[in-house]
Amino acid sequence: MKTFIGIMLVGFLGFLGCSGGNDGTTVTVGQATPAAPFGTIETSTPTYEWTPVPWATKYRLVVQDTNEDSTTADTNEAAIIDEWYTAEESGCVSEDGLCMVTPEIEVIGKNEFKILACANEQCGLWSEVLTFDFTVTNTLRFTDNGDGTVTDNNTGLMWTKSANFGDPRNWDAAGGYCEGLTLAGVNDWRLPALSELKSLVDPRRDDPALPPGNPFTDVDSTRNGFYWSTTKVDTPYPPITEAWGVRFDLGLPDHRLMTVEENMWCVRGGN
């Protein structure tokens, strides 16, 4: 009987998300992942997006010019944007979609942003930094390299021209396929991060949600046209069983069980 009660008590504390202490009020706050600042081509006041974090009640958004020294410390560093948003204000209470905010503050040139997730006064680690560039240019967005690859001149990333280069695979197999791919004489291909996959999306278009005049072929823009990213879904308890991706019918982020077979779109370059 004592053993049974002990098991129930451990399970109950785990459900409360305790990380030290036994009052059930202290939780372990995870780490957000910047997805994409939408609108950096058309507007200098983009929408910033990031993955939701379990337990988080508020988020701190910091946008900084890359010419400034970046730090993940909680300091009074010079920043273009340094704002707090509740989970409700950033639209990520349900944790099913991305958090997003659109501050009416202009950003010009090359910038970077990061996110800090907090549960009341308990904060997790700063996210990785995502760099983006708003520069008015007349350069064509994409270059078809004529060898089965396409270069995005906005991000410097190189993609396979065909978005259906291999059969659908589960998350692990998709990553392995891209890492084992040799195309155009190079073999450093990989599965894209969510921010990289989202950088292809044009939110004003659908079926597929890609910029007009793009040279890509074989894009799965059906209702279930989901493409894997390397970004995992943050969960309060291990193991992590889902990963983020993008549906290119409407350009929406979504997540799937890693065991499900879905599309993959290999990329190279960047970080």
Q: Each residue of 83-116: pLDDT tens digit? A: 999 999 999 988 889 999 999 999 988 999 999 9
Tell me how long the chain is: 271
* Domain regions of the chain by residue span: 34-134, 142-268
Q: Tell me the pLDDT tens digit for each residue of 121-172.
A: 999 999 999 999 887 666 789 999 999 999 999 889 999 999 998 899 999 9
Residue 1 has pLDDT above 60, yes or no: no
Mean pLDDT of the region 14-43: 66
* Position 19 confidence tier, pLDDT thresholds 50, 70, 90: very low
Q: Which fold has domain 142-268?
A: Mannose-Binding Protein A; Chain A (3.10.100)
| Arithmetic mean of pLDDT, 224-235 | 94
> 118-131 pLDDT, tens per residue?
999 999 999 999 99
* Per-residue pLDDT band at 246 (split at 50, 70, 90): very high
Query: Model-level pTM?
Result: 0.84
User: Does the structure show a pLDDT above 50 at 202?
Assistant: yes
Residue 84: per-residue pLDDT: 98
Buried residues in 47-67 as b, exposed as e (16+ CB within 10 A): bbbbbbbbbbbbbbbbbbeee
Residue 224: is its pLDDT beyond 90?
Answer: no
* Preceding omega of 46 cis (within 30 degrees of 0): no
Position 203 confidence tier, pLDDT thresholds 50, 70, 90: confident
pLDDT higher than threshold 60 for residue 72: no
* CATH topology assigned to domain 34-134: Immunoglobulin-like (2.60.40)
Give the model's pLDDT for residue 95: 82
